[in-house]
Amino acid sequence: MIRSYKNIMPTLGKEVLIDESAVIVGDIELATDVSIWPLVAARGDVNTIRIGARTNIQDGTVLHVTRKTPTHPDGNPLVIGEDVTVGHKCMLHGCTLGDRILVGMGAIIMDGAIVEDDVFIGAGTLVPPNKTLKSGYLYMGNPMKQARLLKDSEVSFLKQSALNYVKLKNDYLEQA
Ligand SMILES: CC(C)(COP(=O)(O)OP(=O)(O)OC[C@H]1O[C@@H](n2cnc3c(N)ncnc32)[C@H](O)[C@@H]1OP(=O)(O)O)[C@@H](O)C(=O)NCCC(=O)NCCS
């Protein structure tokens, strides 16, 4: 289920887990300790997808990008930073995420949106195109609104959540 598009194969860092039901196509780079859980679909065809170390992409999430055009020469690649938790059944399309972010279950993040480091996105949130989510805040709702500053415990949890998933991923790799 790891496939090329136009002769470009996904590249995988060390100790990466990709569930055998996931589909990973084209120009995609996964850094060390990334985990891709059941039924994820990631298509790096008309642009690129980059995922940073220790990030987890949970079950049923869809990752895609927007093509380059004369009026929009870079299109919209998808960039996800380090220690990011992407919950179940999210849709991340042509957006840029920094480090230590939690994307709640079922959230949708649209083209050109930028999520700064240390952000918590509530379950079911819709992030419209080209919005910026500021570091240190909780966002939720459809369309998303800045809800409040994160508590210290929530900021610590962002990193911890990613580490929990690295551990879980290692258990799966050991039993394979
Ligand atoms: C947003 C969240 C962090 C809770 O934040 P909180 O500040 O503790 O919110 P509370 O539970 O005190 O609820 C406060 C209000 O927000 C509402 N609310 C809670 N979560 C919400 C969400 N995701 N979207 C919209 N509104 C939400 C509550 O209904 C409540 O509204 P009310 O005051 O009208 O009753 C949590 O609900 C959430 O969405 N977590 C994401 C979990 C997840 O998806 N993890 C990834 C899977 S591993």
Q: Percentage of the chain with pLDDT > 90?
A: 99
- 20 CB neighbour count, 10 Å cutoff: 8
CA of 169 to the centre of ligand 1 (A): 27
CA of 107 to the centre of ligand 1 (A): 12
Q: What is the mean pLDDT of residues 95-117?
A: 98
18 lines ligand 1 (CB under 6 A): no
**148 phi/psi in degrees, rounded to 5:** -175, 170
Q: Which one of 56, 89, 140 would you pick to mutate in the ligand 1 pocket, going by the greatest count of ligand atoms within 8 A of its CB?
A: 140
Q: What is the pLDDT of residue 176?
A: 81
Minimum CA distance residue for ligand 1 atom 5 = 122
- CA-to-CA distance for 134 and 108, rounded, in angstroms? 17
Q: What is the pLDDT of residue 24?
A: 98
Closest CA to 157 of 120, 123, 122: 120
Q: What is the pLDDT of residue 111?
A: 98
124 lines ligand 1 (CB under 6 A): yes
43-70 tens-digit pLDDT: 999 999 999 999 999 999 999 999 999 9
106 lines ligand 1 (CB under 6 A): no
Per-chain mean pLDDT for the chain: 98
Q: What long-range pairs does 62-68 form, CB within 8 A, spacing at least 24?
A: 62/90, 62/91, 62/92, 62/93, 63/92, 63/93, 64/92, 64/93, 64/94, 65/93, 65/94, 66/93, 66/94, 66/111
What is the pTM for the complete model shown? 0.98
Closest CA to 172 of 50, 53, 67, 16: 16
123 lines ligand 1 (CB under 6 A): yes
Tokens 């480091």 identify what position? 117
Q: What is the pLDDT of residue 104?
A: 98
User: Does the pLDDT of residue 12 top 90, yes or no?
Assistant: yes
Q: What is the pLDDT of residue 55?
A: 99
Pairing of strands 41-51, 23-30: parallel
User: Does the pLDDT of residue 10 top 90, yes or no?
Assistant: yes
Q: What is the mean pLDDT of residues 120-140?
A: 98
H/E segment holding residue 147:
strand 145-149
Q: Would you call 162 helix, strand, or coil by DSSP? A: helix
136-155 tens-digit pLDDT: 999 999 999 999 999 999 99
CA neighbours within 13 Å on the CB side: how many for 44? Answer: 22
